[in-house]
Structure 1
Amino acid sequence: MIDSLFLGIDGGGTKCRARLRDAAGNLLGEGTGGPSNIRLDPDLVWNAILTACRAALDQARLGEADLGRIHAGMGAAGAGQSSAVERLMARPHPFASFAIDTDAHTAWLGAFSGNDGAILIVGTGSCGYGVVGGERRYVGGWGYEISDEGSGAAIGREALRRTIWAYDGRIPQSALSQAILAEFDHSPEAIVDWVGKARPADYARYAPIALQHALQRDPLGLDLITDAAHQMAQIATRLLDLGAPALCLFGGLAEPLRPWLPPPLQQVIVPPQADALDGAILLARQATQEPLVRRRR
C-alpha cells in the first residue's frame, strides 16, 4: 500500500507557499511559487501551486511520480467567491485529492486544530472568523471600500482624510498631518490624483507611520490608532458574543495594535497552536476522513 502525503497550500496575491508532511505528520519539505490569488487566471494559479509543490517535493527527495499520492488542502483569499473556486477546480490536477477553502478558515484550523475558537486577521485588510459548534461565522472582511475596519488600508485612508481636514483648518495640524502633506508637496490636489490610482496596499503604507506618531503622542496618530483598536475590538467582541471561547490574532498589524485593545479582550487572546499551512494540511485530512464544518457567511 502506498503511503499518503499531505500538502498544505497558502495561496496569496504575492506568492504561494506549500508545506509537505507524511501521514504521521513529519515535515518533509516546503516550497514557494508565484502569485496564486484564485481570482487570477486559473492556469497561472495552478502553475504557482505546482511550482511550490514541486519545490517541497524536491526538499523531500521525492519526484513527479509522488504527486498522485498527495492529498492537498489550500487556503486562499477570494475562495469565498464560488465562481472563482469553480474556475480553478475546472482545471485538471495531479493530486489524489484537492480541497480548497478561505484563508481565514485554514488559519482558524491551524490556530485551534478544528476546535471552537475565533481569529482576527489584521493586515492590509481585516476579517474576523470563528467556528462554534460546527457553525462558521464571518464578521467584517467586506473590502476596504466599505469594511476592513482597523486594517492598514482603513488607517491609511482615514489618515489621508484627516490630513485634508487639517489642511482645511477643520482640525489642528500635527506632526503626522504635516509629514503626510509633505509627501504630496503640500498639495491636496496631488492627494486626490494619488487616491484615484491607489490600491489597499498603498493606503496601508501609512499605518506604520500613524502608529509611530501615536507612540510619540501625536494627537492625530493617537486618534487614528485608538479608533482602529476600537474597531478591532468591535469585531472581536462580536465573535466572542457568538460563543467563541478564545481569540487568536493574525496579520502584520495584529501584534502592533494588540496593546491598544481593551483589557477584557487581552485576557481571551491565546497563541495559535499552528499556522495556516498546517491548517491547510488539516483541511486536506478532513476532506479524506470527515465532513467539513457547516458554512455560514
Structure 2
Amino acid sequence: MTRSNSCVLLIDGGGSGARARLCSLSGDVLATGTAGPANISTDFEAAATNLLGLAHTVYTKAGRDIASFAQDYAFVALAGAGASAQRQELIDRFGFNKMVLATDIDVTLAAALGTVQDGLVAMLGTGSFFVWREQGKVRRVGGWGFILGDEAGGAWLGRELLRDTIKAYDGVAPSSALTQKTLDHFGGTPKKMVPFARDSKAADFAQFAPWVTNAISTDDPVAQRIVKRAVDHLCATLGPADQVPAQHLCFLGGLGRFYQSQMPADYQAICQPAKGEALDGAFWLAQQAFDL
C-alpha cells in the first residue's frame, strides 16, 4: 500500500482529558474523539489505556482497521511527556509506522503562534505553563504539576477554594456564598475535605475551578480574592506587558479566555487570538516531522 493511503493520528492530552483527530496526509479530517486523563508522568497505565482506547475509537469511527497503525503516522502531545521515563514504552504499545511523542507545550506553541511568530503563550487549563518565543529561541516556565506549581491553573483554583473555605469555617478568614456552597458540598464541615485532598488528583481539584470563575460574576468576595491571587501570579510570571516579545500575547486553555478578561488593561491590549487549536498545531508539527 502506498504512502498516499496512509493517515496521521493527532492526539493532544492532559490532566483532564485527551482529544484526537484522524486525518489524511493532506489534512482532511476523517474522525475525532475524546478520552479521559492522559498525563503519562502521573499515571502511566491509566493514560496509556485511555490513549489506546481513543486511537481505536477514532479508527473505528473512520471505518479504518487498527491494523493500519503499522503503515500510519502518529503525532501525540501529552502533559508530562517530557518528564516520563516510559516514553518509548508508550510508542511501542501503539505500533505506528512512525510516531512522535511530544509535550503539550510543543503543540500549544504551534497552535498559538504557528511555526514562526514571536510571542508569549499562557496556557491555563488543569495546570499552567508559559512559553516565550523570540528570534528563534524558546523558553518555558511552569508545567511542573499543581503540588509544586501550576499557579492559576484549574487544580490550583480548586485547591485555593478548599483552603479558603476551611479558613472561613475556622473563623480566621471571611466567608461567602461560595465558601458556604463548598462547605455544603462536603457535608457542612471540612472533615471530608481532608481525605478528598489526600486521595485526589489534579483533575479532581479542577472540578471546582468553574465554581470560582462563575462566582466572579456575582461579585463573591472570596472568589475575587482567589482570582486576584491568580492574576498577581500571572503578572509576575509574564513580566511587564511592554516586554512581551513582538507585543503578541496569547491566552489558551479552558481558563484562557477567563483570565484574559481579568488581566490589567496593558496586557489585554496586546492579546491576540491563537492561529489554531491544539490539534491544528499538532498537524503542523506532524507535517514537519514526517515531511507530509
Same fold by TM-score greater than 0.5? yes
Partner AA of 1:171 in structure 2: A
Range with bigger deviation, 177-186 or 271-280: 177-186
Report the Cα offset of residue 106 of structure 1. Answer: 0.9
* 2-structure distance, mates of 1:277, 1:94: 21
Among 185, 202, 210, which residue is 1:200 paired with? Answer: 202
**CA deviation digits over 1:154-203, x for unaligned, max 9?**
22222222223323332333222333333334434343343323332332
* 2-structure distance, mates of 1:78, 1:32: 18
Range with bigger deviation, 149-158 or 240-249: 240-249
Report the Cα offset of residue 54 of structure 1. Answer: 4.7
Partner AA of 2:277 in structure 1: D
Report the Cα offset of residue 62 of structure 1. Answer: 4.3
Instruction: Report the number of matched residues.
Output: 288
Q: Is the 8 A contact 1:7 1:280 kept in 2?
A: no
Report the Cα offset of residue 13 of structure 1. Answer: 4.9
- Give the equivalent residue in structure 1 for 2:79: 77
- For 1:196, what is the secondary structure of its paired residue? helix
Among 213, 216, 219, which residue is 2:215 paired with? Answer: 213
**Runs of 5+ unmatched residues, structure 2:** none
* 1-structure distance, mates of 2:96, 2:256: 35
* 1-structure distance, mates of 2:258, 2:14: 22
Partner AA of 2:258 in structure 1: P
What TM-score results when the alignment is normalised by the length of structure 1? 0.81
Structure ranking higher on relative contact order (CA contacts 8 Å, 6+ apart): 1
After superposition, the Cα gap between the structure-2 partners of 1:70 and 1:223, relative to the gap in structure 1 and judged at 3 Å, is same
Mapping 1:117-136, distance limit 5 Å: 117-136=119-138
- Give the equivalent residue in structure 2 for 1:294: none
- Give the equivalent residue in structure 1 for 2:229: 227
Q: Is the 8 A contact 2:120 2:245 kept in 1?
A: no
Report the Cα offset of residue 76 of structure 1. Answer: 0.6
* 2-structure distance, mates of 1:170, 1:34: 38
- Give the equivalent residue in structure 2 for 1:237: 239
* 1-structure distance, mates of 2:51, 2:213: 36
Mapped pair 1:100 → 2:101? yes
- Give the equivalent residue in structure 1 for 2:256: 254
Among 145, 148, 151, which residue is 1:146 paired with? Answer: 148
After superposition, the Cα gap between the structure-2 partners of 1:84 and 1:199, relative to the gap in structure 1 and judged at 3 Å, is same
Range with bigger deviation, 29-38 or 248-257: 29-38
* 2-structure distance, mates of 1:161, 1:32: 32
Range with bigger deviation, 102-111 or 213-222: 213-222
What TM-score results when the alignment is normalised by the length of structure 2? 0.83
Partner AA of 1:104 in structure 2: I
Q: Is the 8 A contact 2:27 2:283 kept in 1?
A: no
Q: Is the 8 A contact 1:32 1:51 kept in 2?
A: no
Report the Cα offset of residue 266 of structure 1. Answer: 1.0
Report the Cα offset of residue 57 of structure 1. Answer: 4.3
After superposition, the Cα gap between the structure-2 partners of 1:74 and 1:168, relative to the gap in structure 1 and judged at 3 Å, is same
* 2-structure distance, mates of 1:185, 1:51: 36
* 1-structure distance, mates of 2:143, 2:17: 21
Range with bigger deviation, 18-27 or 70-79: 18-27
Q: Is the 8 A contact 1:130 1:138 kept in 2?
A: yes
Give the superposed CA RMSD: 3.1
After superposition, the Cα gap between the structure-2 partners of 1:189 and 1:71, relative to the gap in structure 1 and judged at 3 Å, is closer
Matched-pair identity in %: 33
**CA deviation digits over 1:61-104, x for unaligned, max 9?**
54456434423211111111141323323x26543311111112
**CA deviation digits over 1:81-135, x for unaligned, max 9?**
141323323x265433111111121122122221233321212221112333333
After superposition, the Cα gap between the structure-2 partners of 1:191 and 1:18, relative to the gap in structure 1 and judged at 3 Å, is closer
Q: Is the 8 A contact 1:78 1:84 kept in 2?
A: no
Report the Cα offset of residue 217 of structure 1. Answer: 1.9
Q: Is the 8 A contact 2:39 2:47 kept in 1?
A: no
Q: Is the 8 A contact 1:248 1:271 kept in 2?
A: yes
Among 54, 77, 90, which residue is 1:88 paired with? Answer: 90
* 2-structure distance, mates of 1:109, 1:8: 14
* 2-structure distance, mates of 1:285, 1:238: 35
